[in-house]
């Protein structure tokens, strides 16, 4: 490890003149002490990992603060004796802030349900907006983990590889860090499609000597021609990475033997003018292939990538891909946003701001899109799409996903321009809204105050950004129409009531009725009537009822809304089996109420039946210590798809009116029924709420508990055994009470 940290220090001083290595070496000593005795699954000392992460960051010329944070990024989470305050005191607030951001990113799970993925993406984007270096450290952390995945179980390896290929590699691409992106894709591909990976690698190996010989020939030929033209250029061979070859095989439906453009060259010069001169030399030396030229110097990609790309036919008849760029362009292409901190720290940088404009757009949509799947789709579209570059009439460059239409361009300019788009001109000529834009097009949008989004626009728009804006407008319009329809329906329902009832109608009670039914306001109530979810006659009768005293606390709200619900003891048979495979009859133990997904054990009762306990239940542990012969290991067996299991949860929350409606809405949205409820004031300003729920499995309950913890006024929420629920909510039997060991 000492040799590797010395290498990190040496590299830092090479690309960052004047950098002090003292903090770097101090961070290594601190990390080594914090991780002493800890080992990775491979058996290596754990400190190898943060040092390797710092070493990866030197390959993209990361700043000194990022390297120090990389060395310390696991110390806070993996060591109870180390806190952020300790880091800040010894290494400064910037390093502590970076470590805090990386620690939070480690807890994000992108292999979870779609709504969780969207929520976690929001958190990642916010972390990026605060300091992009947080994500650079995370990318380096993930890359080293990919290099050392082999000790993990196959399912875990696959999950990490999928997450890397579909989330982190596209992020690296968007941030312009080509070095990390290419290796991350190849390593992920290796675990996701091992047969294809090794087949391509083996076939590349068989032809490697021939390709290397041909590449050296082309390099020498081209270098001589450039020098003869007075251009001081360096010419390098450029290898295609395995994942990019596989993608080309898939998109063009070709075997690897038919892919001939495996040879690539890169020309590095000092000025833009020399790049265009070199392009002339290349096209004079070899015949250019039509349609295979791209000028990313005049039209940079959104991640600030600049280069001239061309494809030519070499003298041996095969295609050769050539990139031409300046040394500075090459540094940006290789290191991406990491290059920003080298010269720009503490100053504004218009090019850098333009490079992360996509991040600002996604953050704006984060508060714009109510539907999680819309946001997930938008982020994926923004990260994964290839691009075209078009111009406004004033010459401003816009990057759009490949296949975009004038409608996508309109929404990129401004939401109002998109919402009132009535037509478009491309290169001065009128075109249909579904015209496919090409790089270099000049696009002008014709607007009209009477134009508005229509449902068919969802088929015209190609960018997820534009589709999200269209959906939002259509939903808002549909909601407005539903509110008006619901309002009129309630007024008509009032007219059909007897005159005596109608005389008691008080429209100012609509907000109260909305709250009673779990709606945030009366517009939401009218919208529900308009959608057909609530009967207009129900609302009409409610506003004609004698006004009731409004509940002032959570306990009163439960009593008013759920006055007669009492829990019945669950006696259903559980779908369990012995570890040997034999099915048995069993019932749930009331002390811990196991549900599918829990680890379980069985206790043979005196009457001969089997009570199923969660493995961590104190009762089963007590029995196991005293009557081990009555304990049998169990597993969950096949069960009916609709089978339900009852559990109790306890919620401690700020005592306020309306909280029950909020909680009930979350429970309902999770497709869970409430079968009993009890509440009481537990302390000044706090209330306790107990709910009996019907769930299908442990994962469903855990997801609900996570959602409820996010409610602002909820202090704690947990699952509890029956004996901890007040007797007003159920009649507990003796069996439900715990056994206390002497």
Q: What amino acid positions are annotated as catalytic residues?
A: 77-78
Buried b (16+ CB within 10 A) or exposed e, 503-528: eebeeebbebbbbbbbbeebbebbbb
For residues 564 and 664, give the distance between their C-alpha atoms in angstroms, rounded to a whole number: 17
Please give the distance of CA 380 from its chain centroid, rounded to a whole number.
Answer: 9
Which residues make Cβ contacts (< 8 Å) with residue 499, sequence separation at least 6? none
CA–CA gap between residue 509 and residue 512 (Å, rounded): 5
Query: Which H helix or E strand runs over 688?
Result: strand 686-695
**Is the Cα torsion angle 557, 560, 566, 567 positive or negative in sign?**
negative
How long, in residues, is the chain?
Answer: 742
What is the spatial distance between Cα 48 and Cα 649, in angstroms, rounded to a whole number?
43
Q: Which two tokens stand for residue 408?
A: 């996508």
User: 228 exposed, middle or buried (CB, 10 Å; 0-12, 13-18, 19+)?
Assistant: exposed
CB 647 within 8 A of CB 696: no
357-368 vs 464-495: helix crossing angle, rounded to 10: 10
Burial zone of 79 (CB within 10 Å; 0-12 exposed, 13-18 middle, 19+ buried): middle
CA-CA distance, 86 to 33, in Å (whole number)? 14
Of 329, 350, 174, 336, the closest CA to residue 266 belongs to: 329
Residue 610 C-alpha from the chain's centroid: 44
CB burial string 698-715: b at 16+ within 10 A, e below: bebbebbeebbeebebbe
Instruction: For residues 6 and 13, give the distance between their C-alpha atoms in angstroms, rounded to a whole number.
Output: 11
Distance between CA 253 and CA 389 in Å, rounded?
A: 27
Helix ranges (H only) for 336-419 are: 340-344, 350-355, 357-368, 372-384, 406-413, 415-419
| φ/ψ (deg, to 5) at 578 | -75, 160
The answer to whether 623 and 738 are in contact (CB under 8 A) is no
Burial 159-193 (b: 16+ CB within 10 A, else e): bbbebbbebbbbbbbbbbbbbbbbbbbbbbbbbbb
**Token duo for residue 289:** 């292939």
């Amino acid at each position: 490890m000492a040799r590797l940290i010395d290498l990190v220090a040496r590299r830092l001083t090479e690309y960052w003149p004047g950098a002090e290595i003292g903090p770097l070496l101090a961070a290594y000593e601190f990390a080594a002490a914090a991780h002493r005795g800890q080992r990775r699954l491979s058996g290596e000392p754990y400190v190898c990992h943060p040092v390797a992460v710092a070493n990866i960051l030197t390959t993209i010329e990361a700043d000194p603060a990022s390297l120090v944070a990389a060395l310390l990024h696991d110390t806070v989470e993996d060591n109870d004796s180390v806190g952020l305050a300790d880091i800040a005191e010894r290494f400064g607030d910037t390093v502590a802030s970076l470590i805090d951001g990386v620690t939070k990113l480690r807890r994000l799970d992108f292999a979870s349900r779609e709504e969780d993925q969207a929520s976690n993406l929001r958190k990642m984007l916010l972390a990026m907006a605060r300091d992009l270096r947080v994500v650079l450290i995370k990318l380096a952390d993930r890359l080293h983990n990919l290099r050392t995945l082999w000790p993990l179980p196959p399912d875990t390896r696959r999950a990490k590889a999928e997450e890397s290929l579909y989330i982190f590699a596209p992020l690296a691409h968007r941030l312009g860090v080509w070095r990390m992106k290419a290796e991350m894709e190849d390593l992920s591909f290796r675990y996701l499609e091992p047969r294809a990976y090794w087949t391509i690698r083996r076939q590349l190996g068989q032809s490697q000597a021939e390709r290397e010989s041909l590449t050296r020939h082309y390099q020498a030929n081209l270098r001589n021609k450039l020098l003869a033209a007075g251009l001081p250029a360096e010419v390098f061979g450029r290898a295609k990475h395995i994942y990019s070859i596989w993608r080309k095989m898939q998109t063009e439906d070709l075997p690897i033997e038919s892919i001939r453009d495996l040879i690539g060259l890169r020309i590095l010069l000092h000025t833009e003018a020399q790049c265009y001169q070199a392009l002339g030399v290349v096209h004079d030396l070899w015949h250019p292939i039509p349609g295979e030229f791209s000028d990313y110097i005049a039209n940079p990609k959104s991640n600030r990538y600049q280069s001239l790309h061309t494809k030519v036919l070499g003298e041996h008849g095969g295609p050769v891909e050539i990139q031409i760029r300046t040394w500075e362009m090459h540094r940006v292409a290789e290191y991406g946003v990491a290059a920003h901190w080298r010269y720009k720290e503490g100053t504004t940088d218009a090019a850098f701001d333009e490079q992360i404009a996509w991040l600002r757009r996604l953050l704006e949509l984060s508060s714009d899109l109510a539907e999680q799947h819309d946001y997930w789709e938008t982020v994926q579209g923004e990260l994964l799409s290839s691009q075209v570059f078009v111009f406004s009439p004033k010459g401003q460059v816009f990057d759009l996903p490949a296949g975009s239409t004038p409608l996508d361009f309109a929404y990129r300019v401004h939401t109002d321009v998109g919402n009132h788009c009535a037509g478009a001109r491309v290169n001065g000529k009128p075109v249909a809204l579904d015209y496919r834009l090409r790089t270099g097009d000049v696009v002008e949008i014709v607007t009209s105050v009477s134009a508005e989004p229509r449902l068919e626009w969802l088929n015209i728009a190609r960018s997820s950004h534009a589709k999200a804006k269209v959906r939002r407008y259509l939903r808002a319009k549909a909601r407005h129409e539903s509110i008006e329809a619901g309002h009129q329906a309630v007024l008509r329902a009032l007219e059909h009531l007897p005159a005596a009832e109608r005389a008691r109608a008080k429209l100012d009670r609509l907000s109260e009725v909305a709250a009673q039914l779990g709606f945030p306001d009366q517009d939401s109530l009218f919208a529900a009537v308009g959608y057909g979810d609530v009967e207009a006659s129900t609302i009409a009768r409610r506003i004609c009822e004698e006004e009731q005293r409004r509940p002032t606390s959570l306990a009163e709200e439960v009593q008013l809304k759920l006055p007669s619900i009492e829990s019945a003891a669950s006696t259903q048979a559980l779908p369990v089996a012995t570890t040997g495979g034999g099915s048995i009859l069993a019932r749930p133990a009331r002390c811990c109420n196991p549900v599918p997904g829990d680890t379980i054990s069985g206790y043979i009762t005196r009457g001969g039946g089997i009570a199923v306990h969660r493995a961590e239940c104190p009762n089963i542990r007590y029995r196991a210590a005293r009557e081990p012969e009555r304990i049998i290991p169990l597993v969950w067996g096949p069960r009916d798809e609709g089978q339900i299991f009852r559990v109790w949860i306890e919620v401690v929350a700020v005592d306020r009116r309306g909280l029950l409606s909020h909680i009930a809405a979350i429970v309902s949205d999770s497709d869970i029924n409430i079968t009993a409820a009890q509440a009481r004031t537990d302390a000044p300003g706090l209330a306790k709420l107990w709910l009996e729920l019907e769930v299908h499995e442990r994962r469903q309950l855990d997801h609900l508990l996570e959602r409820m913890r996010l409610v602002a006024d909820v202090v704690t929420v947990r699952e509890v055994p029956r004996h901890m629920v007040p007797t007003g909510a159920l009649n507990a039997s003796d069996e439900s009470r715990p056994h206390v060991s002497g």
